Structures are given as structure tokens and as C-alpha cells.
Amino acid sequence: MSAPAVTLRSSNPAVGVLFILLAMLSISVNDMLIKQMSDGYPLHQIVFVRSFIGIAFSLVLVQFEGGLLQ
């Protein structure tokens, strides 16, 4: 077996800043939605939906990075 090839990506500060801003927006929207939904839905349903969405986003990112069996 040969060792997997390691590729180095060039660093781009603009992309890093964009990801930080996107993360801050996502956290703010998440907080806002939980506060809005807490009056009408039980806590366990809110946590389940939030976790499901987080897992879905994580699996999409894993797929872009090469998949689970890279």
C-alpha cells in the first residue's frame, strides 16, 4: 500500500473571514429561532431538529472534504 498523497491548500484570509462571519450569522439565527419556537414546541423537539440540521450540514462538509472513507 502506498501512503495517501497530502495536498496543501493555500491560505486565503478573505475565505477565513467569510467563514467566521457565516458562523456568527448561523449562531445568531439559531438563537433567534430557538427563542421563537420555545413558546410552541417542547424542548426535546427543538433540540432534535437542531441536532438533525447540524448533522446534515456536517455530513455535507465531510462529503466535500473527501467522504467518510477517504
> pLDDT tens digit string along 21-52?
999 999 999 999 999 989 999 999 999 999 99
How far apart (Å, rounded) are the C-alpha atoms in residues 62 and 56? 10
DSSP secondary structure code for residue 25 in this structure:
H
Residue 36, C-alpha cell as written in the block: 421563537
pLDDT grade, residue 3 (50/70/90)? low
Model pLDDT, residue 5? 54
* Per-residue model confidence (pLDDT) at position 4: 57
